[in-house]
């Protein structure tokens, strides 16, 4: 997980509006992730994979018995967990039920952000620190607002470099248009991102070996299919489960998210990767669209210290140059990839990698250097094991 966020909080709320209110209030402290509809098993699994030690649970008169039982069940399984109840501050009965069930405190919906953040800070000081596992594989995200094949081209080559460094690597291609990484490498797949979500409880090494597509040097690919549900309909909770499962089996995951619209799912990837490569070209239109998203996330309090600017299709004699773009975006420029239109087109049309087709081209060399830089994050990581995942699958 990225160190750019200090904490992850879980929440079960009445609706998306309440969740967004809580996310806004706690944005300076970390990310608030929806824990779904109130299943105890799902909540406990999410506590394990997000390393959260503080959970918000909404109460209402119609479901207060079940909600109180959820609080009691969570605390029985995780005694060190801090639970804050949410509800109507004028309803004394809800407050009483929350305290009896073991909630540490009660927050009224719509409370001022400063009050909610202050409460969380006070509670956090009294909670034991929970450090994320350092055994989790590296996670690199490539994002940009433009929907085109170049996102798949870049991410597939970066993943190949990391794989060839000796690390077990997965390319998770969720960019738009869907599935371009497979087409670029001349591959097909019958198992896609949507299938992985549906088979989450069976996602072990056997399924990965038999279902995930294998590319050059043993690189695994899990791609987004045209008939998969849109990414913005995937909950943050599902993504946490999937990523945590995948990171038990891979030392590095490269995720292509280029072209995806803003959503909670996209922000989950962005907030919890080790390195965010923000891709843009030099055109005013592309810069404007990327800046709109970047500035929105900054306004919402998302911490993007791990973000770097990747200038694609770069022309040295055309303004703005890479330094100017870096200042405009407020991001360090990690690389400027040469335009090289003929080389890119040939690679796309022939289904051959740049490393094989044009190894000495400036574009190819830049991708190799960048991939080697990413690989350093996860050097020496052994394949991690996870007790929570075995529990989800019903094994010990």
| Domain segments of the chain as ranges | 7-126, 138-378
Give the model's pLDDT for residue 272.
Answer: 84
What element of type H or E holds 136? Answer: none
Helices (H) and strands (E) in the chain, counts: 17, 13
**Is 64:94 a contact under the CB 8 Å cutoff?**
yes
Give the model's pLDDT for residue 330.
Answer: 98
Task: Kindly provide the b/e burial profile for residues 34-70, where b requires at least 16 CB atoms within 10 angstroms of the residue's own CB.
Answer: bbbeeeeebbbbbbbbbebbbbbbbbeeeebeebbeb
- Chain-centroid distance of CA 331 in Å reads 20
The third-level CATH classification (topology) of the domain covering 7-126 is Rossmann fold (3.40.50)
Give the model's pLDDT for residue 388.
Answer: 41
- Rounded to two decimals, the pTM is 0.86
Which is it for the CA torsion 88, 90, 94, 100, positive or negative? Answer: positive
Residue 111 CB burial class (10 angstroms; 0-12, 13-18, ≥19): middle
Give the model's pLDDT for residue 343.
Answer: 97
What is the spatial distance between Cα 371 and Cα 134, in angstroms, rounded to a whole number? 21
Mean pLDDT in order along the chain per 10 residues (396 residues): 62 92 90 87 89 94 95 95 94 94 95 95 84 71 97 98 97 97 95 95 92 96 95 90 91 98 93 94 98 95 93 97 98 98 96 96 98 83 48 42
Distances (CA, A) of 214 to 159, 183, 293: 12, 13, 34
Tell me if domain 7-126 and domain 138-378 are identical in fold. Answer: yes
Q: CATH number of the domain at 138-378, please?
A: 3.40.50.300
């Amino acid at each position: 997980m990225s160190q750019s966020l200090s904490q992850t909080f879980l929440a079960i709320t009445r609706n998306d509006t309440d969740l967004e209110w809580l996310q806004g209030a706690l944005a300076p402290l970390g990310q608030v992730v929806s824990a779904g509809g109130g299943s105890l098993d799902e909540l406990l699994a999410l506590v394990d994979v997000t390393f959260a030690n503080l959970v918000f649970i909404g109460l209402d008169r119609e479901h207060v018995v079940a909600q109180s039982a959820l609080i009691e069940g969570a605390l029985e399984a995780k005694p060190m967990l801090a639970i804050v109840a949410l509800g109507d501050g004028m309803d004394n009965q809800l407050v009483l039920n929350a305290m009896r069930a073991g909630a540490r405190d009660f927050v009224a919906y719509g409370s001022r952000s400063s009050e909610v953040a202050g409460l969380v800070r006070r509670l956090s000081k009294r909670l034991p620190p929970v450090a994320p596992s350092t055994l989790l594989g590296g996670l690199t995200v490539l994002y940009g607002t433009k929907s085109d094949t170049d996102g798949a081209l870049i991410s597939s080559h970066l993943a190949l470099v990391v794989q060839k460094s000796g690390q077990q690597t997965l390319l998770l291609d969720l960019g738009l248009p869907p599935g371009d990484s497979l087409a670029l490498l001349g591959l097909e797949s019958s198992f896609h991102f949507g299938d992985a979500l549906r088979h989450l409880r069976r996602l072990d090494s056997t399924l990965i070996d038999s279902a995930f597509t294998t590319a050059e040097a043993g690189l695994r690919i899990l791609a987004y299919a045209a008939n998969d549900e849109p990414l913005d309909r995937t909950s943050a909770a599902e993504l946490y489960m999937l990523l945590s499962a995948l990171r038990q089996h891979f030392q590095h995951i490269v995720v292509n998210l280029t072209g995806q619209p803003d959503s909670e799912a996209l922000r989950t990837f962005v907030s919890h990767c080790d390195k965010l490569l923000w891709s843009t070209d030099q055109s005013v239109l592309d810069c404007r669209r990327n800046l709109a998203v970047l500035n929105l996330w900054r306004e919402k309090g998302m911490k993007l210290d791990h973000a770097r600017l990747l200038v694609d299709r770069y022309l040295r004699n055309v303004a703005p140059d890479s330094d100017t773009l870096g200042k405009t975006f407020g991001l360090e420029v990690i690389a400027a990839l040469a335009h090289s239109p003929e080389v890119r087109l040939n690679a796309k049309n022939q289904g051959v990698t740049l490393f094989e087709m044009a190894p000495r081209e400036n574009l190819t060399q830049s991708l190799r250097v960048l991939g080697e830089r990413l690989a350093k994050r996860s050097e020496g990581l052994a394949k991690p094991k996870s007790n929570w995942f075995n529990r989800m699958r019903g094994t010990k």
